[in-house]
Amino acid sequence: MHEMVPSKWMSITSIAHRVSLAGRVEIGIAKGNDWIPLSSPVKPVTVDIIKGPERFMYHMKLKALSHGTAWEGLSHRPDRTLTAVDGSFYFVDLPDGDYELQAIAPRELTHLVAIKSAVISVQSSAKLAFITLKLANTGIMGLVTKEDDKTPIPFAKVQVLGSGEQVRCDDKGKYQLLNLEVSPKNKRNVKLYISQRRYTEITTDPIPIKRGEVVAKQDFQLTLASV
């Protein structure tokens, strides 16, 4: 008869987490009070809870003390997460209350800037709270036409002089030259080089651009080149 030997395996109990808050980071063009969303997602964006209920913020202070200097460098914390490839994000197990969130673009993406933080209320007894955070793009947009009759010039090339930043007009002569990199502390002056076959190319005067803004109505005319 064999003696029963106690199992050395530990029993594992799964812990269920409750998704308290979900959202999406959206990239777009800010035009006054209007917002034009763009379809393309970007690299993972950091989403921080910058304010919350007193109980939650006190818990974060204790967490920060326990982690020391490593705390700021953590990409995933109870008050911080990264977006997925589609821009979505979520937080789990948040106590009820109001939360202020802000999206922070990667440092190398200097063409993006957060419009402003946003506040949302979390209530465990209510439906899942959902919030949209916005990052504004930087660039120039306008129209390229013929000088004589002002009709559009399709597919003209609009390029930042001395840079690889460029775009083609659409079939109606409209262009959106986006993702222009700008230092967070400075404006940038760019000259545009506009060209199309059979037309005389032009170089514009410097155009000042500011991070998070799209300079609109930068329209230009080309003349037919002499044969």
Q: Domain-by-domain residue ranges, the chain? A: 19-136, 139-222
pLDDT of residue 32: 79
pLDDT of residue 107: 86
What CATH topology corresponds to 19-136? Answer: Immunoglobulin-like (2.60.40)
Assign 171 to helix, strand or coil: coil
Hey, do 19-136 and 139-222 end up sharing a CATH topology, with the first three levels equal? yes
Which amino acid is it at 63? K
The ranges of the chain with pLDDT < 50 are none
pLDDT of residue 97: 96
Total Cβ atoms within 10 A of residue 61: 9
Instruction: Answer for the pair 159, 192: CB distance below 8 angstroms, yes or no.
Output: yes
Q: What's the whole-model pTM score?
A: 0.82
For the chain, how many helices (H) and strands (E)?
1, 19
Instruction: Answer for the pair 118, 131: CB distance below 8 angstroms, yes or no.
Output: yes
Check: CATH 2.60.40.1120 for 139-222? yes
What single string gives the DSSP state of each residue in 105-154? --TT-TT-EE---EEEEE-TTSSPEEEEEEEE--EEEEEEEETTT--B-T
pLDDT of residue 184: 77
Closest CA to 48 of 115, 133, 137: 133
pLDDT of residue 215: 94
